[in-house]
Amino acid sequence: MAAIGGRVLLTLALLLGACGRHDRIIVGAKNFTESDLLAEIVAQQIERRLHVPVERRLHLGGTFVCHQAILAGQIDLYVEYSGTAFTAVLKHPPVVERDSVFRQVASEYSRQFGLRWLTAFGFDNTFAILVRAADAERYGLKVMSDLSRVAPRWHAGFGYEFLERADGFAGLSRVYGLHFAAPPTAMDLGLTYRALADRKVDVIAGNSTDGQIAALHLAVLEDDRHYFPPYEAAPVVRAGTLERYAGLARALEELGGKISDDEMRRLNAAADVEHRDIRTIAHEWLEAHVP
Amino acid sequence: MSLLSFYSRNSAELLALTWQHVYLVVVSTGAAIVVGVPLGIALTRRPAWRAPVLGLANVFQTIPSLALLGFLIPFFGIGAWTAITALILYALLPIIRNTYTGIAGVDPAVREAGRGMGMTDGELLRLVELPLAAGVILAGIRVATVVSVGVATIGAAIGAGGLGVYIFRGVATVDDTLIMAGALPAALLALAADAVLGIAQRRLAWQR
């Protein structure tokens, strides 16, 4: 109830925020650490280069909430992932042509929504099928194809978004022939990590750049059949906002290609495992990498 | 897709989820009554326990439900039992407090009259205090039940099922129809529970 109440409040806050906005840029983020962190980096970069007030609306619901918010002009930009936009927003079937995903997404967003994709940060945060490292060793699990051997005795727990998405569980179980002991338990994404670590489920779907993977002694199974499209993170900005603030595109392009998979995992761990403040993490990263 | 056509296409699922929801609420509120009413009575006998017990029950109320579920996973796993445990912890405060307040509020003169007639402590409780406090105790149970119907939607976060499944699915895909599909029957359940317990409460008041 509290979470639902929170979402209602958030919606109200969004609606109120839309009224009476002055000269400021509103940066949104989805409801997980990496999205918050990247939004904070983007926000500080804008403040450093443009000297415009930036309002942060972090930790909004999932993909769809951010998409609705940016379409309605309640946020000016947020960080989206190419594969997510491709399958979940544009509703394309998960594809094979990995290289064309980003280009195709960028051109369709521009045409359909008036939204611009800027240069990607450089890392690929794919869905990660996670098991406990001890189990991976005991059963010799390295790639996702190995999972079909043990699946009939195992239990899975997935977030609601993964269960509903076209590039989520339905396609995954078809491509890899997965049949678990029981239908996967639908639960809150954050709680799936805890359930896996506490041996209440045996396999979950997380994010490959997640800081918790090493901390909780989990192993990522490689997507050997390339089921998941690439999920390159990049700022998505309203075209109108780019026109209104001349230096905005240039300031954000400076961040392009600067964050590798390992770097993103390290930043996430700094927030999730070491519990450092994301403002400080973002500030230090910008000072060190984008002087 | 309209709500009605959604329901007509998914009526079996709706029934199953509603049943799971009712099950979560009935089992948890029942357990909270079994624990809470005797505890409330004990507090009237042992005034020193009052502050710590009510304080603890108060603390449970302040823990956000998603966080409480997270704490409970290591002990109860995922599924209905964890959700029920969380619901019990939330339901305790109104039941304990109203039981205590109801019995403590019995007119001392009435209690003295009972003792004067030679009643033991047990008889006094059964024949005098509980009947007089029943209305207040039931009011606490009523509050606990209505709150539980709402909080039980969060059980869907740990695979406990219930009407929260539609709400979580709807929030994950920004589908207002789905959110309404879960929220509307949950609200109706809460109203129904409130009405039924309200009638029971009036009956009790009328008998007195």
What pLDDT digit, counting tens, does each position of A31-63 carry? 888 999 999 999 999 999 999 999 999 988 778
The per-residue pLDDT for B207 is 64
Q: Is the dihedral of CA A187, A188, A191, A192 positive or negative?
A: positive
Region B9-32 average pLDDT: 96
Which domains, ranges and CATH numbers included, belong to chain A?
23-124+230-289 (3.40.190.10), 127-221 (3.40.190.120)
Distance CA A136, CA B68 (A): 30
Contact (CB<8Å) A186/B74: no
The per-residue pLDDT for A2 is 43
The per-residue pLDDT for A88 is 82
The per-residue pLDDT for A94 is 72
Give the gap in angstroms from C-alpha B172 to the nearest C-alpha of chain A.
Answer: 5
Helix (H) or strand (E) holding A129: strand A127-132
Distance CA A238, CA A240 (A): 5
Distance CA B69, CA B85 (A): 9
Distance CA A238, CA A220 (A): 35
Which residues in B lie closer than 8 A to residue A7 (C-beta atoms)?
171
The model's confidence at residue B174, banded by pLDDT at 50, 70 and 90, is low
Region B7-19 average pLDDT: 94
Distance CA A4, CA A29 (A): 18
The per-residue pLDDT for A140 is 95
List the Cα angle B116/B120/B122 in 5-degree steps: 135
Q: Convert the pLDDT of each residue in B37-54 to its tens digit.
A: 999 999 999 999 999 999
Which residue ranges of chain A lie beneath pLDDT 50?
1-6, 9, 14-20
B79 touches A: beta carbon within 8 Å: yes
Cβ neighbours of residue A184 under 8 Å, at least 6 residues apart? Answer: A155, A156, A157, A158, A163, A169
DSSP letter at A124 equals B
Contact (CB<8Å) B65/A3: yes
The per-residue pLDDT for A207 is 86
Distance CA A140, CA A138 (A): 6
Which residues in A lie closer than 8 A to residue B70 (C-beta atoms)?
190-191, 194
Cβ neighbours of residue A13 under 8 Å, at least 6 residues apart? Answer: A57
Q: Which residues of A116-126 are buried (b: 16+ CB within 10 A; e: fewer)?
A: bbbbbbbbbbb
CB atoms within 10 A of CB A138: 10
The model's confidence at residue B92, banded by pLDDT at 50, 70 and 90, is very high
Report residue B161 CA to chain centroid gap.
18
The per-residue pLDDT for A99 is 75
Token pair 């450093």 in the structure block, residue: A48
Distance CA A101, CA B126 (A): 74
